[in-house]
Amino acid sequence: MPFSKSFPKTTDKTIYPKWEEVYLTEEEEKAIEESAKEESRHLMEECIKDAKKIFLKQNLKDFQSDIIHAAIALFEKRASHVVFWKETKCKEKFDQSHKTS
């Protein structure tokens, strides 16, 4: 099932917006997913480094499992990009299709 997002389209004829569904093509969706995967790998590496820095700064014993748990918490906080990027792409398509309208 392709990714989609609804956006309100207003007109001067009514105060109620008409909701318009925007879909990503399979190619657009795959490109975004690949980009997100690469970004996620980079983010996880960055999170592991940041977790190590936190442990060192706080003079905590740096048990590997503790660092990984801290890195995962940081990663989860930072890594919700896939849906965000897909929604952003849908918004771009919506705006582009209504720019000429």
Q: Please give the Cα distance from 32 to 39 (Å, whole number).
A: 10
User: pLDDT value at position 59?
Assistant: 84
Per-residue pLDDT, 100: 58
Whether residue 20 contacts residue 93, with contact meaning beta carbons closer than 8 Å, is answered with no
Identify the pLDDT of residue 19. 92
pTM for the predicted model, two decimal places? 0.60
The full set of domain ranges for the chain reads 43-79
pLDDT value at position 28?
93
Under-50 pLDDT residues of the chain: none
pLDDT recorded at residue 40: 82
Q: E strands along the chain, which residues?
A: 4-9, 18-23
